Amino acid sequence: MTNSLRFLRDPDYKFGLGLAALGRPGYINLGHGEDIDDRSVEGMRENAHQVLDAAWKAGIRYFDAARSYGRAEEFLGSWLTERGIDPESVDIGSKWGYTYTANWQVQAEHHEIKEHSLDVLNRQWGETHHNLRGQLDLYQIHSATLESGVLENMAVLARLAELKSEGIAIGLTVSGANQAEVIERAIPIEVDGSRLFDSVQATWNLLEQSAGGTLKAAHESGMAVIVKEALANGRLTPGNANNPDFVRQYHLLQEEAMRLNTTVDALALAAARRQSWADMVLSGAANTNHLASNIRARHVMFDDEAAVALSSLVEPPESYWQTRSDLEWN
Protein backbone atom coordinates (compact mmCIF):
# COMPACT_ATOMS: atom_id res chain seq x y z
CA MET A 1 0.00 0.00 0.00
CA THR A 2 1.08 3.59 -0.53
CA ASN A 3 1.26 4.54 3.12
CA SER A 4 2.33 1.95 5.70
CA LEU A 5 -0.03 3.25 8.40
CA ARG A 6 2.59 1.90 10.72
CA PHE A 7 0.76 2.44 14.00
CA LEU A 8 -2.57 1.21 12.64
CA ARG A 9 -0.90 -2.07 11.79
CA ASP A 10 1.32 -2.46 14.85
CA PRO A 11 -0.23 -4.84 17.45
CA ASP A 12 1.43 -2.80 20.21
CA TYR A 13 -0.79 0.18 19.29
CA LYS A 14 -4.27 -1.30 19.38
CA PHE A 15 -6.02 1.83 20.63
CA GLY A 16 -6.51 5.18 18.94
CA LEU A 17 -8.43 8.36 19.72
CA GLY A 18 -11.44 9.54 17.72
CA LEU A 19 -12.29 13.24 17.99
CA ALA A 20 -16.04 13.14 17.25
CA ALA A 21 -16.88 14.32 20.79
CA LEU A 22 -14.01 16.81 21.09
CA GLY A 23 -14.52 19.22 18.20
CA ARG A 24 -18.09 20.47 18.62
CA PRO A 25 -20.33 21.36 21.58
CA GLY A 26 -23.13 18.93 20.73
CA TYR A 27 -22.98 15.19 20.07
CA ILE A 28 -25.25 12.12 20.38
CA ASN A 29 -23.22 10.28 23.04
CA LEU A 30 -25.24 9.63 26.19
CA GLY A 31 -24.49 12.29 28.81
CA HIS A 32 -22.35 14.37 26.47
CA GLY A 33 -23.97 17.49 27.92
CA GLU A 34 -22.23 16.82 31.25
CA ASP A 35 -18.89 15.69 29.82
CA ILE A 36 -17.40 19.12 29.00
CA ASP A 37 -17.78 22.17 31.22
CA ASP A 38 -16.70 25.02 28.92
CA ARG A 39 -18.29 24.80 25.48
CA SER A 40 -16.78 27.97 24.06
CA VAL A 41 -14.38 27.48 21.17
CA GLU A 42 -11.40 28.21 23.41
CA GLY A 43 -12.74 26.02 26.20
CA MET A 44 -13.21 23.07 23.87
CA ARG A 45 -9.83 23.61 22.26
CA GLU A 46 -8.21 23.47 25.69
CA ASN A 47 -10.17 20.35 26.60
CA ALA A 48 -9.26 18.68 23.30
CA HIS A 49 -5.58 19.47 23.86
CA GLN A 50 -5.76 18.03 27.38
CA VAL A 51 -7.28 14.78 26.09
CA LEU A 52 -4.73 14.63 23.27
CA ASP A 53 -1.92 15.17 25.78
CA ALA A 54 -3.25 12.36 27.96
CA ALA A 55 -3.63 10.08 24.95
CA TRP A 56 -0.08 10.78 23.83
CA LYS A 57 1.25 10.12 27.33
CA ALA A 58 -0.68 6.84 27.38
CA GLY A 59 1.02 5.74 24.16
CA ILE A 60 -1.81 6.36 21.70
CA ARG A 61 -0.40 7.13 18.25
CA TYR A 62 -3.42 7.16 15.94
CA PHE A 63 -5.77 10.16 15.92
CA ASP A 64 -8.96 10.26 13.86
CA ALA A 65 -10.89 13.41 12.89
CA ALA A 66 -13.40 14.46 10.19
CA ARG A 67 -14.56 17.59 8.41
CA SER A 68 -17.95 17.27 10.11
CA TYR A 69 -16.54 17.11 13.66
CA GLY A 70 -16.80 20.88 14.09
CA ARG A 71 -13.29 22.18 14.77
CA ALA A 72 -11.73 18.78 15.47
CA GLU A 73 -9.22 19.01 12.63
CA GLU A 74 -8.27 22.54 13.67
CA PHE A 75 -7.79 21.48 17.31
CA LEU A 76 -5.75 18.44 16.28
CA GLY A 77 -3.63 20.47 13.88
CA SER A 78 -2.83 23.13 16.47
CA TRP A 79 -1.96 20.44 19.02
CA LEU A 80 0.42 18.70 16.60
CA THR A 81 2.13 22.03 15.88
CA GLU A 82 2.27 23.37 19.44
CA ARG A 83 3.61 20.09 20.84
CA GLY A 84 6.09 19.69 18.00
CA ILE A 85 4.91 16.17 17.25
CA ASP A 86 7.17 14.44 14.73
CA PRO A 87 5.02 13.39 11.72
CA GLU A 88 6.83 10.06 11.71
CA SER A 89 5.67 9.33 15.26
CA VAL A 90 1.91 9.34 14.57
CA ASP A 91 -0.74 8.26 12.10
CA ILE A 92 -3.33 10.98 11.42
CA GLY A 93 -6.66 10.16 9.78
CA SER A 94 -9.56 12.33 8.68
CA LYS A 95 -12.69 12.04 6.59
CA TRP A 96 -14.62 13.88 3.89
CA GLY A 97 -18.24 13.76 2.78
CA TYR A 98 -20.14 15.48 5.60
CA THR A 99 -20.22 19.24 6.13
CA TYR A 100 -20.66 20.57 9.68
CA THR A 101 -23.66 22.92 9.72
CA ALA A 102 -24.62 23.38 13.40
CA ASN A 103 -22.70 26.68 13.72
CA TRP A 104 -21.43 25.76 17.20
CA GLN A 105 -24.95 25.14 18.52
CA VAL A 106 -25.97 22.10 20.54
CA GLN A 107 -29.41 22.07 18.94
CA ALA A 108 -29.69 22.64 15.20
CA GLU A 109 -32.02 21.71 12.37
CA HIS A 110 -29.12 19.90 10.69
CA HIS A 111 -25.84 19.15 12.45
CA GLU A 112 -24.14 17.85 9.32
CA ILE A 113 -25.05 17.46 5.67
CA LYS A 114 -23.82 14.53 3.59
CA GLU A 115 -22.68 14.81 -0.01
CA HIS A 116 -20.23 12.44 -1.66
CA SER A 117 -19.53 14.53 -4.77
CA LEU A 118 -16.23 15.39 -6.43
CA ASP A 119 -16.78 19.08 -5.62
CA VAL A 120 -17.14 18.31 -1.90
CA LEU A 121 -14.11 16.03 -1.96
CA ASN A 122 -11.94 18.69 -3.56
CA ARG A 123 -13.19 21.44 -1.24
CA GLN A 124 -12.85 19.40 1.92
CA TRP A 125 -9.45 18.03 0.91
CA GLY A 126 -8.18 21.61 0.79
CA GLU A 127 -9.72 22.37 4.18
CA THR A 128 -8.29 19.24 5.76
CA HIS A 129 -4.84 19.88 4.32
CA HIS A 130 -4.93 23.42 5.73
CA ASN A 131 -6.24 22.45 9.18
CA LEU A 132 -3.76 19.62 9.68
CA ARG A 133 -0.82 21.59 8.28
CA GLY A 134 -0.37 18.93 5.62
CA GLN A 135 0.14 16.21 8.23
CA LEU A 136 -2.26 13.52 7.06
CA ASP A 137 -1.73 9.79 6.59
CA LEU A 138 -5.24 8.46 5.92
CA TYR A 139 -8.18 10.12 4.14
CA GLN A 140 -11.50 8.30 4.40
CA ILE A 141 -14.90 8.53 2.73
CA HIS A 142 -17.17 9.41 5.65
CA SER A 143 -20.01 6.90 5.96
CA ALA A 144 -19.99 5.43 2.48
CA THR A 145 -23.33 3.93 1.55
CA LEU A 146 -24.78 2.15 -1.43
CA GLU A 147 -27.41 4.89 -1.70
CA SER A 148 -24.91 7.74 -2.09
CA GLY A 149 -23.37 6.03 -5.11
CA VAL A 150 -19.87 7.04 -4.05
CA LEU A 151 -18.41 3.58 -4.72
CA GLU A 152 -19.55 3.85 -8.36
CA ASN A 153 -18.56 7.50 -8.85
CA MET A 154 -15.54 7.12 -11.11
CA ALA A 155 -14.57 10.79 -10.89
CA VAL A 156 -14.41 10.56 -7.10
CA LEU A 157 -12.57 7.23 -7.16
CA ALA A 158 -10.04 8.59 -9.66
CA ARG A 159 -9.40 11.64 -7.47
CA LEU A 160 -8.89 9.43 -4.43
CA ALA A 161 -6.47 7.30 -6.44
CA GLU A 162 -4.60 10.48 -7.34
CA LEU A 163 -4.27 11.38 -3.65
CA LYS A 164 -3.09 7.85 -2.97
CA SER A 165 -0.37 8.21 -5.60
CA GLU A 166 0.82 11.26 -3.66
CA GLY A 167 1.35 9.20 -0.50
CA ILE A 168 -2.02 9.40 1.27
CA ALA A 169 -3.64 6.11 2.28
CA ILE A 170 -7.30 5.92 1.27
CA GLY A 171 -10.07 4.41 3.39
CA LEU A 172 -13.79 4.44 3.95
CA THR A 173 -16.03 4.39 7.00
CA VAL A 174 -19.40 2.67 7.11
CA SER A 175 -22.51 2.87 9.26
CA GLY A 176 -25.95 1.34 9.33
CA ALA A 177 -27.54 -2.08 9.16
CA ASN A 178 -25.97 -2.82 5.76
CA GLN A 179 -22.36 -2.10 6.79
CA ALA A 180 -21.25 -5.54 5.62
CA GLU A 181 -22.69 -5.10 2.12
CA VAL A 182 -20.88 -1.78 1.66
CA ILE A 183 -17.57 -3.29 2.84
CA GLU A 184 -18.00 -6.22 0.46
CA ARG A 185 -18.53 -3.78 -2.40
CA ALA A 186 -15.46 -1.75 -1.45
CA ILE A 187 -12.88 -4.51 -0.95
CA PRO A 188 -12.25 -5.34 -4.64
CA ILE A 189 -12.47 -1.80 -6.06
CA GLU A 190 -9.50 -0.97 -8.26
CA VAL A 191 -8.45 2.12 -10.18
CA ASP A 192 -6.06 1.59 -13.08
CA GLY A 193 -5.35 -1.94 -11.91
CA SER A 194 -4.49 -1.07 -8.30
CA ARG A 195 -6.71 -1.62 -5.29
CA LEU A 196 -8.00 1.67 -3.94
CA PHE A 197 -8.91 1.18 -0.29
CA ASP A 198 -6.22 0.69 2.33
CA SER A 199 -8.56 0.69 5.34
CA VAL A 200 -12.12 0.41 6.55
CA GLN A 201 -13.61 1.89 9.70
CA ALA A 202 -16.80 0.26 10.96
CA THR A 203 -19.02 -0.07 14.00
CA TRP A 204 -18.55 -3.23 16.04
CA ASN A 205 -19.45 -3.63 19.68
CA LEU A 206 -21.10 -6.01 22.13
CA LEU A 207 -24.52 -4.93 20.83
CA GLU A 208 -23.83 -4.75 17.07
CA GLN A 209 -21.64 -7.46 15.55
CA SER A 210 -23.20 -7.97 12.14
CA ALA A 211 -20.17 -6.78 10.16
CA GLY A 212 -17.67 -9.04 11.94
CA GLY A 213 -17.32 -11.64 9.21
CA THR A 214 -16.90 -9.06 6.48
CA LEU A 215 -14.37 -7.10 8.54
CA LYS A 216 -12.40 -10.33 8.88
CA ALA A 217 -12.45 -10.67 5.08
CA ALA A 218 -11.31 -7.06 4.68
CA HIS A 219 -8.46 -7.64 7.11
CA GLU A 220 -7.40 -10.80 5.29
CA SER A 221 -7.44 -8.89 1.99
CA GLY A 222 -4.83 -6.49 3.38
CA MET A 223 -7.01 -3.62 4.54
CA ALA A 224 -6.44 -2.13 7.98
CA VAL A 225 -9.59 -2.42 10.11
CA ILE A 226 -10.52 0.37 12.52
CA VAL A 227 -13.32 -0.23 15.03
CA LYS A 228 -15.46 2.80 15.90
CA GLU A 229 -18.30 3.17 18.40
CA ALA A 230 -17.09 0.24 20.49
CA LEU A 231 -19.03 1.81 23.37
CA ALA A 232 -22.21 2.21 21.31
CA ASN A 233 -22.33 5.99 21.80
CA GLY A 234 -22.34 5.59 25.57
CA ARG A 235 -24.80 2.70 25.79
CA LEU A 236 -21.95 0.45 27.01
CA THR A 237 -20.82 2.81 29.79
CA PRO A 238 -22.01 3.71 33.30
CA GLY A 239 -23.95 6.54 31.64
CA ASN A 240 -26.54 3.93 30.63
CA ALA A 241 -26.74 2.26 34.05
CA ASN A 242 -30.12 3.77 34.94
CA ASN A 243 -31.83 3.07 31.65
CA PRO A 244 -34.90 0.96 32.56
CA ASP A 245 -34.75 -0.74 29.16
CA PHE A 246 -31.15 -1.82 29.72
CA VAL A 247 -31.23 -3.18 33.29
CA ARG A 248 -30.59 -6.82 32.44
CA GLN A 249 -27.87 -6.00 29.94
CA TYR A 250 -26.09 -3.62 32.26
CA HIS A 251 -26.18 -6.15 35.08
CA LEU A 252 -24.39 -8.67 32.84
CA LEU A 253 -21.79 -6.08 31.87
CA GLN A 254 -21.22 -5.14 35.48
CA GLU A 255 -20.84 -8.76 36.56
CA GLU A 256 -18.16 -9.46 33.96
CA ALA A 257 -16.40 -6.18 34.64
CA MET A 258 -16.21 -7.05 38.33
CA ARG A 259 -14.94 -10.57 37.57
CA LEU A 260 -12.18 -9.16 35.36
CA ASN A 261 -11.44 -6.29 37.78
CA THR A 262 -12.17 -3.53 35.32
CA THR A 263 -14.75 -0.93 34.30
CA VAL A 264 -17.74 -1.53 32.04
CA ASP A 265 -16.35 0.72 29.30
CA ALA A 266 -12.92 -0.93 29.42
CA LEU A 267 -14.60 -4.32 29.20
CA ALA A 268 -16.47 -3.29 26.06
CA LEU A 269 -13.34 -1.87 24.44
CA ALA A 270 -11.41 -5.03 25.34
CA ALA A 271 -14.07 -7.11 23.60
CA ALA A 272 -13.44 -5.20 20.38
CA ARG A 273 -9.67 -5.41 20.86
CA ARG A 274 -9.95 -9.20 21.16
CA GLN A 275 -11.21 -9.57 17.59
CA SER A 276 -8.39 -11.03 15.50
CA TRP A 277 -9.22 -8.75 12.56
CA ALA A 278 -9.26 -5.49 14.55
CA ASP A 279 -6.11 -3.48 13.85
CA MET A 280 -7.25 -0.41 15.80
CA VAL A 281 -10.02 0.31 18.31
CA LEU A 282 -10.99 3.94 18.84
CA SER A 283 -11.75 5.58 22.14
CA GLY A 284 -14.20 8.45 21.72
CA ALA A 285 -13.33 10.00 25.08
CA ALA A 286 -14.73 13.50 25.67
CA ASN A 287 -12.50 14.26 28.66
CA THR A 288 -9.40 12.94 30.41
CA ASN A 289 -11.40 10.93 32.97
CA HIS A 290 -13.15 9.03 30.19
CA LEU A 291 -9.84 8.35 28.50
CA ALA A 292 -8.22 7.08 31.70
CA SER A 293 -11.08 4.62 32.15
CA ASN A 294 -11.08 3.59 28.48
CA ILE A 295 -7.39 2.76 28.29
CA ARG A 296 -7.71 0.30 31.13
CA ALA A 297 -8.90 -1.97 28.32
CA ARG A 298 -5.27 -2.60 27.40
CA HIS A 299 -4.90 -4.69 30.56
CA VAL A 300 -8.21 -6.57 30.40
CA MET A 301 -7.92 -10.25 29.52
CA PHE A 302 -11.29 -10.57 27.82
CA ASP A 303 -11.75 -14.34 27.81
CA ASP A 304 -14.08 -16.97 26.39
CA GLU A 305 -16.13 -16.91 29.60
CA ALA A 306 -16.83 -13.20 29.09
CA ALA A 307 -17.64 -13.73 25.42
CA VAL A 308 -20.20 -16.41 26.26
CA ALA A 309 -21.69 -14.48 29.18
CA LEU A 310 -22.17 -11.35 27.06
CA SER A 311 -23.29 -13.01 23.83
CA SER A 312 -26.94 -12.39 24.72
CA LEU A 313 -26.36 -8.64 24.45
CA VAL A 314 -26.26 -8.75 20.65
CA GLU A 315 -29.17 -6.89 19.05
CA PRO A 316 -30.60 -7.26 15.53
CA PRO A 317 -28.83 -4.68 13.34
CA GLU A 318 -32.05 -2.91 12.41
CA SER A 319 -32.94 -2.51 16.10
CA TYR A 320 -29.48 -1.32 17.04
CA TRP A 321 -29.31 1.32 14.31
CA GLN A 322 -32.84 2.55 15.01
CA THR A 323 -31.88 3.06 18.65
CA ARG A 324 -28.78 4.93 17.57
CA SER A 325 -30.75 7.18 15.23
CA ASP A 326 -33.10 8.02 18.12
CA LEU A 327 -30.27 9.31 20.35
CA GLU A 328 -30.57 13.02 21.02
CA TRP A 329 -27.89 15.61 20.38
CA ASN A 330 -26.92 16.99 23.77
Q: Which tens digit of pLDDT belongs to each residue from 127-162?
A: 999 999 999 999 999 999 999 999 999 999 999 999
Whole-number average pLDDT of the chain:
96
User: Does residue 308 lie within any of the structural domains?
Assistant: yes
What local confidence, expressed as pLDDT, does residue 109 receive? 86
pLDDT, one tens digit per residue, over 188-197 is 999 999 999 9
| Whether 171 contacts 141, CB under 8 Å | yes
Q: What is the mean pLDDT of residues 215-241?
A: 97
User: Does residue 77 lie within any of the structural domains?
Assistant: yes
Question: By three-state DSSP, how is residue 263 classified?
Answer: coil
pLDDT, one tens digit per residue, over 311-328 is 999 999 999 999 999 999
- Say if strands 138-141 and 112-114 run parallel, antiparallel, or are unpaired: unpaired
Provide the residue count of the chain. Answer: 330
User: Does residue 5 lie within any of the structural domains?
Assistant: no
Q: What is the mean pLDDT of residues 245-250?
A: 97
Q: Report whether pLDDT(262) > 60.
A: yes
Task: For residues 75 and 51, give the distance between their C-alpha atoms in angstroms, rounded to a whole number.
Answer: 11
What local confidence, expressed as pLDDT, does residue 10 receive? 92
User: Does residue 4 lie within any of the structural domains?
Assistant: no
User: Does residue 135 lie within any of the structural domains?
Assistant: yes
User: Does residue 34 lie within any of the structural domains?
Assistant: yes
Phi, psi torsion values for 305, nearest 5 degrees = -60, -40
Q: Report whether pLDDT(255) > 70.
A: yes
Angle at 322 between CA 256 and CA 112, to 5 degrees: 110
| Whether 283 contacts 16, CB under 8 Å | yes
The pLDDT-based confidence of 3 (bands split at 50, 70, 90) is: low
Q: Which range (2-16, 49-63, 259-273) has the least confidence?
A: 2-16
Quote the percentage of the chain above a pLDDT of 70. 99
Q: Report whether pLDDT(30) > 70.
A: yes
Q: Report whether pLDDT(4) > 50.
A: yes
Task: For residues 131 and 328, give the distance between their C-alpha atoms in angstroms, rounded to a whole number.
Answer: 29
Q: What is the mean pLDDT of residues 82-111?
A: 95
Q: Report whether pLDDT(117) > 90.
A: yes
Q: What is the mean pLDDT of residues 93-112?
A: 94
**How many domains does the chain divide into?**
1
Alpha helices in 19-100 (DSSP H): 32-35, 41-57, 72-82
**CATH value at residue 244:** 3.20.20.100
User: Does residue 1 lie within any of the structural domains?
Assistant: no
Q: What is the mean pLDDT of residues 271-279?
A: 98
Q: Report whether pLDDT(2) > 50.
A: no
Enclosing domain of residue 162? 15-325
User: Does residue 316 lie within any of the structural domains?
Assistant: yes
Q: Report whether pLDDT(1) > 60.
A: no
